[in-house]
Amino acid sequence: MKPAETIERFNRNLRIQHFILMISMIMLSLTGLALKFHDTWLGRLLMAIEGGFGMRGIIHRTFALILIGLGVYHFYYILFRKEGHEEFLRIVPRGKDVRDFVQYLRFSILGKGEPPKAGKYDFRQKFQYWGVVAGFWVMVITGFVLWFESAAMAVLPKWFIDVTLVFHGYEGLLIFLVLFLYHLYNVHLNPDHFPMSRVWLDGKISLEQLKKEHPLEYEELFSGAPSSEEEREGGHRAQ
């Protein structure tokens, strides 16, 4: 098999999922920050752009529903679709990721050894994915408590709702910062990809880049190495 110039890293389904996630995250962040920073110029500006307090809430909850819809589909996708399931198995965190992280620090800080070799998803990307999953649950659960506050107050004490509001606000801010700083830097703004990686648009990654950033996946695809990370871990697990 003759290696092509590029291969597809994300198929169309994943790209659409990513796009919906991106749009809903942007909208939820903007409408959420308007409320979180209500007493600053930023909050006032966002609130005005979003059409006032009431409209801000409607937009926020609309995109929350879109996000939840995406979450439900994603759940279905990784459980019941073969491609989704396979993709999911590649992003499950394993012991190797911890070792990779240590190896990465050793190499970067101390200059010892080699940089770790990643599969389709390196430890940073896995961390990002699982961060989003955790954030999703925190935000959806706390969000529903706040959305249906009368129902919540019928059964829950006031302090619980107060704490929920604080949780929702800070967790939202955290997710915003992680996505818009950490994620954007890692994927787009770092010197290798600046100003932008095109993977999220056409799903394609150049072989050169694949070899450099995901060497194990490259090997797996082109030199008949063990077909998945799971198998690599296999020996380790059997012990």
Partner 1 sequence: MRIWRPFTVLLAVGGMLLHIPQVQRAKAQEGQFSVVVCMECHADRDLTGVDRKGNEISMFVDLRVFRTSVHRNMKCTSCHGGIDEIPHDEELPLVRCGACHDAENRDYLEGRHGAAFERGDPDAPACWDCHGKHDILPAQHPSSQVARANLTRVCLRCHVDEEITARHEEMPAPQTIKAYEKSVHGKGYFEKGLTVVAECVDCHSGHLTLPASDPRSRLYKVNVPETCGSCHRQIQQEYERSVHGEALRSGVLEAPACTDCHGEHDILPPSEEMSRVSPKNIPKTCSSCHDDVALAEKYQLPINRYRTYLESFHGVALKYGKTVVANCASCHGVHDILPSSDPRSKIHPDNRQKTCGQCHPGIGIKAALGKVHIEASPASSKGKYFVRKFYTWFISILMTLFVLYILIEMIGRIRHRRARGAAS
Q: How far is CA 73 from CA 21, 61, 81, in A?
A: 12, 18, 11
User: At how many degrees (to 10) do helices 82-91 and 123-147 cross?
Assistant: 110
Q: Are 33 and 179 in contact (CB under 8 A)?
A: no
Residue 178 binds partner 1 (CB under 8 A): yes
Q: Are 55 and 127 in contact (CB under 8 A)?
A: no
Helix (H, G, I), strand (E, B) or coil at 238: helix
Cβ closest to partner 1, residue 109 vs residue 238: 109
Helix (H, G, I), strand (E, B) or coil at 37: coil
Residue 162 binds partner 1 (CB under 8 A): yes
Residue 89 binds partner 1 (CB under 8 A): no
Residue 208 binds partner 1 (CB under 8 A): no
Question: Using CB under 8 A, which of the segments 76-84, 107-115, 200-208, 224-232 binds partner 1?
Answer: 107-115
Largest CA distance in the chain: 65
Q: Are 17 and 74 in contact (CB under 8 A)?
A: yes
CB atoms within 10 A of CB 38: 14
**Of the candidates 239, 214, 217, which has an alpha carbon nearest to the alpha carbon of residue 227?**
217
Site track for partner 1 across 6-35, x = CB under 8 A: -----------------------------x
Torsion of CA 129, 133, 134, 136, to 10 degrees: 130
Question: Closest approach of Cβ 179 to partner 1, in Å?
Answer: 12
**Of the candidates 78, 82, 195, 57, which has an alpha carbon nearest to the alpha carbon of residue 130?**
78
Kindly tell me which residue out of 137, 180, 185, 194 binds partner 1, with binding defined by CB under 8 A: 185
Kindly tell me which residue out of 65, 89, 134, 174 binds partner 1, with binding defined by CB under 8 A: 174
Cβ closest to partner 1, residue 150 vs residue 223: 150
Question: Closest approach of Cβ 133 to partner 1, in Å?
Answer: 17
Question: Using CB under 8 A, which of the segments 21-29, 79-87, 165-173, 215-223 binds partner 1?
Answer: 165-173
Kindly tell me which residue out of 1, 2, 5, 39 binds partner 1, with binding defined by CB under 8 A: 39
Return residues touching partner 1 (CB under 8 A).
35, 38-39, 47, 52-54, 104-105, 107-109, 111, 115, 149-163, 165-167, 170-171, 173-174, 177-178, 181-182, 185, 190-191
